[in-house]
Structure 1
Amino acid sequence: MERLTDPPAPLPAPPDAPLVRRFRSRVGDHVLLVPGSRIYDLAGADGNGEPDEEIDRLVSAVADTLLLDGAAAGSLSQVVVPAPQSISLNVSSSCNLACSYCYAARGGFEGAQPKPMRWETARAAIDQLLAAADADAPLTIGFLGGEPFVNRNLVHQAVAYATDAGKRAGLDVRFSVTTNATLLDGDDRQLLRSHPFAVTVSVDGDAPTHERLRPFVRGPGNGAGSHARLREAIAPLLAAPGQAHIAARATITRMQLDLPRAFDAILSLGFEEVGFAPLRRGPEGSGALQDADWPVYLRSLSDLARRELARIPAGGALRLTNLAVALKQLHRGASSPYPCGAGGGYHSVAANGDWYTCHRAIGNADFKVGDSNGLERERRTRFLQQRHVHAQTQCASCWARYLCAGGCHQEAAQRTEASCDFIRNWLEFCLAAYCELGTSHPDWFDACASTSHT
């Protein structure tokens, strides 16, 4: 177990860090209170979106009053080292596809994970999670690789074991898996239906795009056919998902920035939720976005989001995960100094049993924090201190710091002014959409409170 130490020292925001951000929507002028992500309407603004010095002074005074006790800002300055609440098991060290941009080198992580996970390793990691986690909150066990269903027997065994152990301990144990879906058989689909699974299916658009980026390693037509196999294998699960919550995730490269086209192609397979992730880093020639691509990506994503918002008056659901998640986070006042739970509530377990702060860091000694016999609190603390948004010189004074928090730790080296402008502009789009939706359809947030997006 971890050795107890004194709590880490707080990391305060720079004195020049903005506390507010004014923005405009079609229904008026508004202000975002940055710590706590609270949104207020500005009555009496000039109405043309131009800054008004008197209103700006009033906004600053209100912000100072609301933040007088320092509660919101103070909590965001803390470096908290929580117990793990979720893990991913890298059960497979291989994959049947040869995706051009794969960060995991098909599961082998450039030699760091040469063999698949064994049952004894998976069981020890599950036991460690069940023993350490907060029993009053849900626990999640995820499966990654490579392609997880290359090692399907271990996935099935781990789910059965964790479900039984969780019931005996009175724990709410849930599961997740990221899969290319081409290997799913009837038993796999039944496993996903029969347990609370968040299933993320990797699919990159229409058949030509998908098969160019995600071909089989071997097969007819020089590896072609992965899209057809995906469609065949996932259709029965989409038709009868049971307890599974299924969403598609598309990686967007600079060779294909037409998001509406990709979105429609993926929906045609039967998916009801689709999310997009721009490729920020990858092997040479894999299509990582460059500075000139970010405005194009923003326009494409915003056009698609407007199309989805237009569905709401007729009772349509938001199928674009990027937008749905952003709106729900704004509604609940999401505000965090970290972009994800890496190294905090979330860890990833390599096939050999080592624990890392992130599934993208397998084999990187800088991200290793222990194993299933115990975690090293000092290493976790150092990781969380170094990656706190206040420790990021490019981020600490940005108004979007608690909504973005610097983005993926693994992609920080690829951060540029153009990519950060994309984040800020997308957040302003979502802020405006939130205010407009709150005016025209305030009940939408109550109606969707029970739904989840991965």
Structure 2
Amino acid sequence: MILLDEEIYILSYEKDAAKKLVYAPKRGCVELIDQQLADCLNNRTITAESSLVKELIKAIQKTPQKDLNVMKNGFPELNIDLSNGCNMRCIYCYAGRGEGRIKYQRKEDIDLILDTYFRYLDNLPDHQENATCSIIFTNDAEPTFVPDLLKYTVMTALEKAKRFDIKPIFLLPTNGAFDEELRAFIIKYFNVVSCSFEGLPEVQNQHRPLINNKPSFDRVYDNIKALYQSGIKLIFSVVVTRYNIDYLKETINFFDKNFPGSVVSFGQINLSGRALADKKALGVDQQHFDERFMAALKYGKLTSIKVQGKHGHPNLIPRSHYCSSTAKPNWSVSVAGDMYACMEEKSEAMKIGCFDFEQRELNFDQERIKMLGQKTVDCNEKCCDCFAKYLCAGGCVSKNENQLALCTGIRERCVHFVNHAYEEKKMRVAARRLFNITEDKERR
């Protein structure tokens, strides 16, 4: 509803059924009210001129509106496919990894991609000295499958970036099945490693066998344990199928014991891509996933593990774009030179240009880039009256129709996130009172 030009939503309060939460999505702000006022607001039996309403809106508006275009901030990320090969044969993989002839990115083409990217950043109006950019080695193929090309790209990027006063930040999505020599290189040069790892040994070996169909757990565990002990930032991605849907708490316990303090992201299996017939047997019922994931979110708070999913944010950071792939957009370059806005969705709808390796140039599709930039949650009719619209931002624009079934679970989780944010706010207020800290001092 709109009150005094402020969009608000009334949500349940988990700790007291006699009270409600008022959530202002554009501010990421939440306030507590009693049930009687909530009923009056819902039934429109109280006017905006009421002192109670004015006080409520005044309290909400103490929090400034957030930048809904936050996903546009910063440089576009560069994602480079080094090959189409993989050293695993995951039973649920959405991509064509390693089948048929293996293709590799040529070093001279890597040079062209990096030169073009850094020159592009240097010409952007918000380019500042010592700015940082993110270089990722896309998860459409396993980057550690070609360690020599991976090392070459990192070292070349570091050298070329110096000429433009840019500092590359390297991010590595990986299955973790690399050798010890490459492990030392990753520890030295990479800032963030996102590892696809299921935790529980029996699930890891079932889901993610090596290329020779042997178990992968021991090799991957040894590698990520070394990364963890080095202090590198690790994010664990767990794919949820029928094999582990009922063992999410046990999975959290595994990470809590072996990698305390880590971030673990649970993602529902995506029934698309290669081996679709096999994947159908791996699928999980949507309601079953929503129930188990919500339980995992709550259970994670009893441990050192921070549990995440793909939709919503516990800190109520609102955004109008689902991801930076449409907002900036990012650069994801395939082995063939085709450039996409997203490193996962390499469809014609997400294609924003192409490197002509023969002519040594990049050709942008400016019309496609403009069109993607306009795809915000505010343009999505199904989202207009949803309180969670700026938390999930309508979902991935390329999978929009397939995500309608996800909305119930997303809303349930986002109500929980709003409740979490309110409890965090209460703790901050209590701390300020205890230590006599003003809000101005806290911001400083």
The aligned counterpart of 2:277 is 284
The aligned counterpart of 2:105 is 117
2:149 equivalent to 1:154:
yes
Q: 1:171 aligns with which of 166, 171, 181?
A: 166
Q: 2:300 aligns with which of 287, 297, 308?
A: 308
SS in 2 for 1:173: strand
2:11 equivalent to 1:20:
no
Separation in 1, partners of 2:163, 2:152:
17
2:426 equivalent to 1:433:
no
The aligned counterpart of 1:10 is none
1:227–1:310 distance in 2 versus 1, CA, 3 Å = closer
Separation in 2, partners of 1:50, 1:276:
39
Q: 2:114 aligns with which of 126, 138, 149?
A: 126
Aligned residues: 402
Displacement of 1:200 in angstroms is: 0.5
The letter of the residue matching 1:102 is: C
Residues 222-371 of structure 1: matches in 2 within 5 Å?
A: 223-241=213-231, 244-257=232-245, 258-270=247-259, 272-282=262-272, 283-286=276-279, 293-311=285-303, 317-322=304-309, 326-327=313-314, 329-330=315-316, 334-343=317-326, 344-362=328-346, 364-371=347-354
Deviations 1:280-316 (A, max 9, x none): 43323425887x83333233223233233245xxxxx
The letter of the residue matching 1:388 is: T
The aligned counterpart of 2:438 is none
Is this contact kept in 2: 1:86–1:140, CA < 8 A? yes
Deviations 1:11-52 (A, max 9, x none): xxxxxxx9322122427532111223332333x543999975
Displacement of 1:393 in angstroms is: 2.9
Is this contact kept in 2: 1:253–1:288, CA < 8 A? no
The aligned counterpart of 2:186 is 192
TM-score in terms of structure 1 length = 0.77
Separation in 2, partners of 1:80, 1:423:
20
1:429–1:81 distance in 2 versus 1, CA, 3 Å = closer
Separation in 1, partners of 2:429, 2:82:
44
Displacement of 1:425 in angstroms is: 0.5
2:76 equivalent to 1:88:
no
Deviations 1:142-198 (A, max 9, x none): 012421111111111111121222233222310111111112322x22222223521
SS in 1 for 2:279: coil
Q: Which has the larger radius of gyration?
A: 2
Is this contact kept in 1: 2:312–2:392, CA < 8 A? no
Identity among equivalent positions (%) equals: 20
The letter of the residue matching 2:248 is: L
1:253–1:323 distance in 2 versus 1, CA, 3 Å = closer
The aligned counterpart of 1:421 is 408
1:169–1:412 distance in 2 versus 1, CA, 3 Å = same
The letter of the residue matching 2:332 is: S
Is this contact kept in 2: 1:84–1:347, CA < 8 A? no
Displacement of 1:72 in angstroms is: 5.8
Deviates more, 1:143-152 or 1:269-278: 269-278
1:45–1:260 distance in 2 versus 1, CA, 3 Å = same
Residues 184-223 of structure 1: matches in 2 within 5 Å?
A: 184-186=179-181, 188-218=182-212, 223=213
1:173–1:296 distance in 2 versus 1, CA, 3 Å = same
Separation in 2, partners of 1:310, 1:50:
37
1:377–1:48 distance in 2 versus 1, CA, 3 Å = closer
Displacement of 1:250 in angstroms is: 0.5
SS in 1 for 2:83: coil
2:15 equivalent to 1:41:
no
Separation in 2, partners of 1:438, 1:297:
29
1:326–1:388 distance in 2 versus 1, CA, 3 Å = closer
Is this contact kept in 2: 1:83–1:345, CA < 8 A? no
Separation in 2, partners of 1:288, 1:86:
35
The letter of the residue matching 1:169 is: F
The letter of the residue matching 1:392 is: N
Separation in 1, partners of 2:313, 2:91:
29
SS in 1 for 2:265: strand
Separation in 1, partners of 2:415, 2:289:
15
Is this contact kept in 2: 1:337–1:390, CA < 8 A? yes
Q: Which has the higher contact order (CA 8 A, sep 6+)?
A: 1
Separation in 1, partners of 2:201, 2:104:
30
SS in 1 for 2:336: coil
Is this contact kept in 2: 1:357–1:368, CA < 8 A? yes
Q: CA RMSD in A?
A: 3.8
Is this contact kept in 1: 2:329–2:373, CA < 8 A? no
1:203–1:190 distance in 2 versus 1, CA, 3 Å = same
SS in 1 for 2:36: coil
The aligned counterpart of 1:376 is 365
Is this contact kept in 1: 2:228–2:259, CA < 8 A? yes
Displacement of 1:80 in angstroms is: 9.9
Displacement of 1:394 in angstroms is: 2.4
SS in 1 for 2:108: helix
1:56–1:229 distance in 2 versus 1, CA, 3 Å = farther
Runs of 5+ consecutive residues of structure 2 not aligned to the other structure: 1-5, 356-361, 432-444
Runs of 5+ consecutive residues of structure 1 not aligned to the other structure: 1-17, 312-316, 445-454
